[in-house]
Chain A
Amino acid sequence: MQIEVEVNNNNITARKGQTILETLSEQGIQIPTLCRLEDFTPTGACRLCVVEVEGMDNLVPACSYPLEQGMKIRTHSRRVIEARKMIVELLLSNHPDDCLYCERNGRCELQNLAAELNIRERRISGKKNTAKLDLSSPGVVHDPSKCVLCGRCIRVCEDIVNITTLEFKGRGNGTSVSTAMNKGLNFSSCVQCGQCILVCPTGALHEKSYFDLIQEAIGNKKEITTVAHYSPSVVVTLAEEFGLKPGKQIVGLINAALRKIGFDKVFDGSFGSDIYVMEQAAELEDRLDKEENLPLLSSSCPAWIKDLEQGYPDLLPYLSTVKSPEQITGTIIKRFCLESKDQGQNDIFSVAITPCPAKKFEAQRQEMTHKGIPDIDAVLTTRELASLIKLYGIDIHSLTPESADEPFHNSSSAGKLLASVGGTAEAVVRTLYNNMTGKDMNNPKLSKLRGTKHFKELSVLMNHHQLNIASVSPLKDIRDILSDLQNEGSGYHYLEVMACPGGCVNGGGQPFYYGSKTLRSRVKAIHQIDEKSSVQNSHNNDMVKSFYNNYLGKPYGSNSRKLLHTSYTKRDIML
């Protein structure tokens, strides 16, 4: 039903019941917000979006107040601007004066607000809250002194990833965002996915940096061979950090940039994804033969693995033992690719560039080491790679695309599909089909496993077996299935699970974005790579075939199981 209202002295028609903010957006009027989170009901916490409505005593929050017939709204009157300005000044009065030293310098929402509202003096000052920096976890750093208490991280952690690590503690101006019993993140249920970082407006949450280690290794050309490898999703997201269109695929530029930084070897991590798919398909075949521990649960997402370990340890037998693609790449690099001068392999420094902080957690797991040396020495998120490229003064726009070093310069497009949720299942199905029937699928594009739904499923006939495949993200949507699995069992044979909604293209380490169009562009780019590729199956990748022939034997054989498979552990966490 259409109604008429007046906005800034202009008559407009709008839909009854939509919020004032929605109406204003349609009119192209921008109102500052802070606590607003897309797809979530408004909490009305920050009060920045207030507008003046004639007849109402106080200013009205545009984000939550519904439009009514005949409303007369003023969005930028003096009273409104003064109020917004003072609210930001109040925030600043309790915020460290730390901009120049801060992780988010240059892309902080609080900086943007202060600039937009033209704040030029410190009218309000007083005592500031102090807080302990939480450096306890390997992936995510929490700095409560920079927190503006918008509550976005809490909502995302509860309603999207459903790990519920964070909650408000205390009251009034002593409120802080905290974990259970105020312990460090490493004690808590945090799975290090980094979704909280994506929504944090300031530098209160960010990934842990290992730049110093990396720079030192790169600088030590004489003694250390540095290797860089990147996950498939990085290739379609990094462009955004340099002002290029979302979804622009720049793998060639990434290779060139990494070499310019000084890495001795640059490998495309999709190779590891192909190996992952081979191993997983073989493992699934094995379980189908034995008819036990079905469904096979995917194991490429370390946040998901930690969730199982701490929340559903009884379901660990269902989890695939295949290491994640990044860790597979890491293992292969250190064991096969490079000649090492000492048996301890201390002279190879392997850096993985990944979509999330959870990979930093994964790389330091005990199981991911060999004789005490980690297979991956340091992990960078996509955002951090961009910073590193800028640190080394590289102008990415002026580079010529290069290809990655052998033997990891080739990969199938199936391996790249892992970047988006549904892609792992699709790749595994393609290879499994070949394993079981000896033929490739006529139409390898499995649309049922694509798209934006949180829960996607496909039923496929393979050699008289009707296989039920599903892919789920984020973790909130897997809870029912897991509890069914605990009680009655499940009709699925393979479940791909990703902690982040949409999978790795939306990982906690990816560039910040506003609006779902960006995410769709990233996914589209992955699918376009698949359309154009001549090698659409992991098992058809020549390099993969020769690698197995020369080194591993067969997938899920004894060599693979020794090197490329891992084990899990039940975790006790605070709450």
Chain B
Amino acid sequence: MPVTKSQKIKDEIIRTLLEGDIENLEPQDRETVDYLKRDKITQPVISLSYNTASIIAGADETFEAIHEYLEDRDIDARLTQMGSPGLVTAEPLLDVQLPGKAKVTFGNVFPEKVSDILDGVFNNFIPLEYVLGQHPNELHEPWENIPYIHELSFFKTQKRDILKNCGRIDPESIDEYIVNGGYRNFLMSIRNYTPEEVCDLIESSGLRGRGGEGYPTGKKWKNTLNASAEKRFLICNAGESDPGAFMERMIMESDPHSLVEAVAIASYAIGAQKAYIYLESEYEMACRRIQKAIDQARDYGLLGHDIFTSGFNLNIQLHQGAGAYVCGEETALIASLEGKRGMPRPKPPYPSYRGLHNQPTVVNNMETLLNVPVIVRHGSTWYKQTGTAKSAGTKVFSLSGKIERSGLVEIPMGASMREVIYRIGGGLPDNKDLKGLLIGGPAGGALTYEHLDTPIDYEELKELGCTLGSGAMVVMDEETCVLDTVKYYMHLLKEESCGKCIPCREGTRRMHEILENITKRPQEENGSFTLHRFKGVINLEKLAHVVRDTSLCGLGQRAANPIISTISAFRNEYEEHIFERKCRAGVCQELSTFYIDVDKCTGCTICAQKCPTSAIVGSAKKPHFIVQDRCIGCGICYESCKFGAIIRK
């Protein structure tokens, strides 16, 4: 294929940048680089956050509106896309940069706000009600009276090493990734270090697996590197399936090349020539962007045979899972990759010695790997300065639930929950009280306000019976019912159990049934059912402990966590449900009873009309009455009464 002029420029620029000699660039090439880095632009650049979260918030419509606005006025501006900086509650986010002036970020840019915002900007004026902040840059003139983005509470105390590029570059452009320093760490590793040296570096940094147990990554790598075998494999486990966890998805959508680079460095370090990135096919956009990133990297010679004449060969393959939570367990993942049923196998033998196709295989969580280029760049001493003595580095959390600001948060290990919830997250909306925090997904555990100041690290959380896990953090307020939440998690675990081992397969189902019985409508109960319900309650804790003690894999072992940790932290709430048949949060439908206050009822008949089971009787203009036997506790009447005449008990 004949090399076109632009292609030739690309090659030269790439080579120069990757070698780190930005000063050696020809002036016009330097211009291209500055343009790509957005240091020096000649036309306005409008960047719309385009990822799953922003699309749900309406980014497609916003895009149409912007496109129309620019066309109608014949404005010469560059409209591009970016990933998400992580502040999900402010999506869709829009960055606008005028030549010579600092870049400005606007939040919640719905289609109807587009003209207001752009009118302002193109008239050299920032509409304050929509703006989030401006980005400082010594080459750009700052705007007056506009806050700096890094000083906002959400961002101020974060340490965004992994999330560095998220929301700043176009995820589908390898050029933008490279001009911002991308792939330099990879080339440095394969040219200047031996695999052993890279392993040593990671080991001395104290990096621990972010997937759950926190096993030292360097040690795991060395086990594989030193195992004698014909082949070795690296598998990146990006099969995040925890409800409440969206970190892996957002990063793959916003900065896919960072993962590709991380996987490449890790593969080199363990002597693997084939790597797999495993993610669930439900993450459509992530799959697309990762595949595109892999293709682009291959196109630029960063993957394939004899990469940049280093002698290192590497192929990375994206593997789409068919939607199985259990395949987040490494041996089940390996079975799935081999084309078999995704069921775990006993360990030992550990995959680092006998894994995929019986060869030594390193299975690393995606976040663990994302730390690798950071460590290669800055060194292990620098890395160890962040975090605690035993848990170095940062941790990324997906913060959601009853919180003002939800999204991706990257903080040093050792920060406290209070920091995350109240400072970064902005506290609970409507000034509600914090009931608790669910950490690490269904397999994690629950914490209460007592633990607000506990430093977040592996050891501390283990003491409290929780695992860091996927980094999902779901905030509960007083209107969240703990039992309802635990029931939901247990339902998920029961559905996702692979079925291989008895305690998990049968145990999760029975635990779920017991919880269902506790929240079942009392009116429907007869004597034998009550006995059945109490038997379940009596044996619940014991059952949970046996499931934890004996299950084959992490899913089963941690399936009992929601129950064990909430029974101790929220015992009162359990007892209210079981003995008093009440749900204090008012969530468990079947335990609610509704009454009509005859003094307040005006007989407007709205509730009677809306009742799905015709449980409300009464004539027009006369007080109505709820027939308890027919009431299913749905609460529609409660919500439709404009006179506050319906009381919930």
Q: Which residues of A contact B (CB under 8 A)?
A: 42-48, 50, 58-59, 61, 64-66, 79, 82-83, 86-87, 90-91, 93-94, 123-127, 148-149, 151, 168, 170-175
Specify which chain B residues have a CB less than 8 angstroms from the CB of A46 in the assembled complex: 501-502
Contact A94 B506 (CB under 8 A): yes
Contact B501 A168 (CB under 8 A): no
User: Which residues in chain B, 498-555, are within 8 Å of chain A measured between CB atoms?
Assistant: 498-503, 505-510, 513, 532, 535, 539, 542-543, 546, 548-552
Specify which chain A residues have a CB less than 8 angstroms from the CB of B513 in the assembled complex: 126-127
Contact B510 A79 (CB under 8 A): no
Residue of A nearest to B512 (CB): A126
Interface presence of B348 (CB below 8 A): yes
Contact of A87 among B346, B495, B508, B550 (CB under 8 A): B550
Contact B509 A173 (CB under 8 A): yes
Contact A172 B498 (CB under 8 A): yes
Residue of B nearest to A90 (CB): B506
Q: Which residues of B contact A (CB under 8 A)?
A: 324, 341, 345-346, 348, 494-503, 505-510, 513, 532, 535, 539, 542-543, 546, 548-552, 557
Contact A124 B497 (CB under 8 A): no
Specify which chain A residues have a CB less than 8 angstroms from the CB of B510 in the assembled complex: 90, 93, 124, 126
Q: How far is the CA of A101 from the CA of B543 in the complex (A)?
A: 30
Tell me the minimal C-beta distance from B332 to chain A in angstroms: 12
Contact A43 B509 (CB under 8 A): no
22 pairs across A/B with beta carbons < 8 Å?
A45-B500, A45-B501, A46-B502, A47-B502, A47-B552, A58-B550, A59-B550, A64-B346, A64-B348, A86-B503, A90-B503, A90-B510, A91-B502, A127-B513, A149-B502, A151-B500, A172-B494, A172-B498, A173-B499, A173-B506, A175-B498, A175-B499
Contact B503 A87 (CB under 8 A): yes
Q: How far is the CA of A306 from the CA of B475 in the complex (A)?
A: 62
Specify which chain B residues have a CB less than 8 angstroms from the CB of A90 in the assembled complex: 502-503, 506-507, 510
Specify which chain A residues have a CB less than 8 angstroms from the CB of B546 in the assembled complex: 82-83, 86-87
Q: How far is the CA of A174 from the CA of B549 in the complex (A)?
A: 23
Tell me the minimal C-beta distance from A49 to chain B in angstroms: 10
User: Which one of B341, B346, B348, B495 has the greatest number of beta carbons of chain A within 10 Å?
Assistant: B346
Tell me the minimal C-beta distance from A59 to chain B in angstroms: 5
Q: How far is the CA of A379 from the CA of B549 in the complex (A)?
A: 48
* 8 A-B pairs with the lowest CB-CB distances in the bound complex, closest first: A175-B499, A44-B346, A64-B346, A90-B506, A172-B497, A86-B546, A126-B513, A47-B550
Q: How far is the CA of A45 from the CA of B498 in the complex (A)?
A: 11
Residue of A nearest to B494 (CB): A172
Contact A65 B550 (CB under 8 A): no
Contact B549 A126 (CB under 8 A): no
Contact B505 A173 (CB under 8 A): yes
Q: How far is the CA of A174 from the CA of B508 in the complex (A)?
A: 12
Contact B505 A149 (CB under 8 A): yes
Specify which chain A residues have a CB less than 8 angstroms from the CB of B557 in the assembled complex: 58
Q: How far is the CA of A65 from the CA of B543 in the complex (A)?
A: 24
Residue of B nearest to A86 (CB): B546
Contact of A168 among B341, B509, B543 (CB under 8 A): B341
User: Which one of B505, B506, B551 has the greatest number of beta carbons of chain A within 10 Å?
Assistant: B506
Query: Given the known A-B contacts A87-B502, A172-B495, are A123 and B348 also in contact in the complex, defined by CB atoms under 8 Å?
Result: no
Tell me the minimal C-beta distance from B296 to chain A in angstroms: 36
Tell me the minimal C-beta distance from B631 to chain A in angstroms: 26
Contact B503 A47 (CB under 8 A): yes
Tell me the minimal C-beta distance from A555 to chain B in angstroms: 50
Tell me the minimal C-beta distance from A55 to chain B in angstroms: 15
Query: Given the known A-B contacts A46-B501, A171-B497, are A58 and B506 also in contact in the complex, defined by CB atoms under 8 Å?
Result: no
Contact of A66 among B345, B348, B498, B509 (CB under 8 A): B348
Q: How far is the CA of A126 from the CA of B324 in the complex (A)?
A: 25
Tell me the minimal C-beta distance from A176 to chain B in angstroms: 9
Specify which chain B residues have a CB less than 8 angstroms from the CB of A43 in the assembled complex: 345-346, 500
Tell me the minimal C-beta distance from A84 to chain B in angstroms: 8
Beyond contacts A86-B503, A173-B494: 7 other A-B pairs, Cβ-Cβ < 8 A, are: A61-B346, A64-B348, A66-B348, A86-B546, A172-B494, A172-B497, A172-B505
Q: How far is the CA of A25 from the CA of B509 in the complex (A)?
A: 34
Query: Given the known A-B contacts A58-B557, A173-B509, are A83 and B549 also in contact in the complex, defined by CB atoms under 8 Å?
Result: yes
Residue of A nearest to B462 (CB): A57
Residue of B nearest to A84 (CB): B550
Residue of A nearest to B553 (CB): A44
Query: Could you tell me the dominant secondary structure of chain B's interface residues?
Result: helix
Query: Given the known A-B contacts A44-B552, A45-B552, are A172 and B542 also in contact in the complex, defined by CB atoms under 8 Å?
Result: no
Specify which chain B residues have a CB less than 8 angstroms from the CB of A175 in the assembled complex: 498-499, 505
Q: How far is the CA of A171 from the CA of B505 in the complex (A)?
A: 9
Q: How far is the CA of A118 from the CA of B550 in the complex (A)?
A: 19
Residue of A nearest to B507 (CB): A90
Residue of B nearest to A61 (CB): B346
Q: How far is the CA of A217 from the CA of B505 in the complex (A)?
A: 47
Contact B346 A65 (CB under 8 A): yes
Specify which chain B residues have a CB less than 8 angstroms from the CB of A61 in the assembled complex: 346, 552
Q: How far is the CA of A363 from the CA of B250 in the complex (A)?
A: 65
Residue of A nearest to B532 (CB): A125
Contact A123 B502 (CB under 8 A): no
Specify which chain B residues have a CB less than 8 angstroms from the CB of A124 in the assembled complex: 510, 539, 543
Specify which chain A residues have a CB less than 8 angstroms from the CB of B501 in the assembled complex: 44-47
Q: How far is the CA of A44 from the CA of B324 in the complex (A)?
A: 20
User: Which one of A65, A82, A87, A171 has the greatest number of beta carbons of chain B within 10 Å?
Assistant: A171
Specify which chain A residues have a CB less than 8 angstroms from the CB of B548 in the assembled complex: 58
Specify which chain A residues have a CB less than 8 angstroms from the CB of B506 in the assembled complex: 90-91, 93-94, 173
Contact B535 A125 (CB under 8 A): yes
Tell me the minimal C-beta distance from A77 to chain B in angstroms: 12
Specify which chain A residues have a CB less than 8 angstroms from the CB of B549 in the assembled complex: 50, 58-59, 79, 83
Tell me the minimal C-beta distance from B552 to chain A in angstroms: 6
Q: How far is the CA of A126 from the CA of B508 in the complex (A)?
A: 12
Specify which chain A residues have a CB less than 8 angstroms from the CB of B500 in the assembled complex: 43, 45, 149, 151
Q: How far is the CA of A374 from the CA of B576 in the complex (A)?
A: 71
Specify which chain B residues have a CB less than 8 angstroms from the CB of A48 in the assembled complex: 502
Q: How far is the CA of A64 from the CA of B503 in the complex (A)?
A: 17
Specify which chain A residues have a CB less than 8 angstroms from the CB of B539 in the assembled complex: 123-124
Tell me the minimal C-beta distance from A484 to chain B in angstroms: 26
Q: How far is the CA of A528 from the CA of B532 in the complex (A)?
A: 61
Q: How far is the CA of A360 from the CA of B513 in the complex (A)?
A: 44
Q: How far is the CA of A87 from the CA of B508 in the complex (A)?
A: 12
Contact B348 A172 (CB under 8 A): no
Residue of B nearest to A44 (CB): B346
Contact A47 B348 (CB under 8 A): no
Specify which chain B residues have a CB less than 8 angstroms from the CB of A64 in the assembled complex: 346, 348
Tell me the minimal C-beta distance from B463 to chain A in angstroms: 13
Query: Given the known A-B contacts A83-B550, A124-B510, are A174 and B499 also in contact in the complex, defined by CB atoms under 8 Å?
Result: yes
Tell me the minimal C-beta distance from A123 to chain B in angstroms: 5
Tell me the minimal C-beta distance from A19 to chain B in angstroms: 10
Tell me the minimal C-beta distance from A299 to chain B in angstroms: 36
Specify which chain A residues have a CB less than 8 angstroms from the CB of B502 in the assembled complex: 45-48, 87, 90-91, 148-149
User: Which one of B324, B502, B542 has the greatest number of beta carbons of chain A within 10 Å?
Assistant: B502
Tell me the minimal C-beta distance from A32 to chain B in angstroms: 12
Q: How far is the CA of A344 from the CA of B501 in the complex (A)?
A: 56
Residue of A nearest to B500 (CB): A45
Residue of A nearest to B341 (CB): A168
Specify which chain B residues have a CB less than 8 angstroms from the CB of A91 in the assembled complex: 502, 506
Contact A173 B550 (CB under 8 A): no
Residue of A nearest to B344 (CB): A44
Specify which chain B residues have a CB less than 8 angstroms from the CB of A47 in the assembled complex: 501-503, 550-552
Q: How far is the CA of A151 from the CA of B498 in the complex (A)?
A: 13
Residue of B nearest to A48 (CB): B502
Residue of A nearest to B349 (CB): A66
Residue of B nearest to A87 (CB): B502
Query: Given the known A-B contacts A83-B549, A126-B513, are A171 and B498 also in contact in the complex, defined by CB atoms under 8 Å?
Result: yes
Contact of A42 among B346, B499, B535, B543 (CB under 8 A): B346
Specify which chain B residues have a CB less than 8 angstroms from the CB of A66 in the assembled complex: 348
Residue of B nearest to A170 (CB): B499
Q: How far is the CA of A147 from the CA of B500 in the complex (A)?
A: 13
Tell me the minimal C-beta distance from A83 to chain B in angstroms: 5
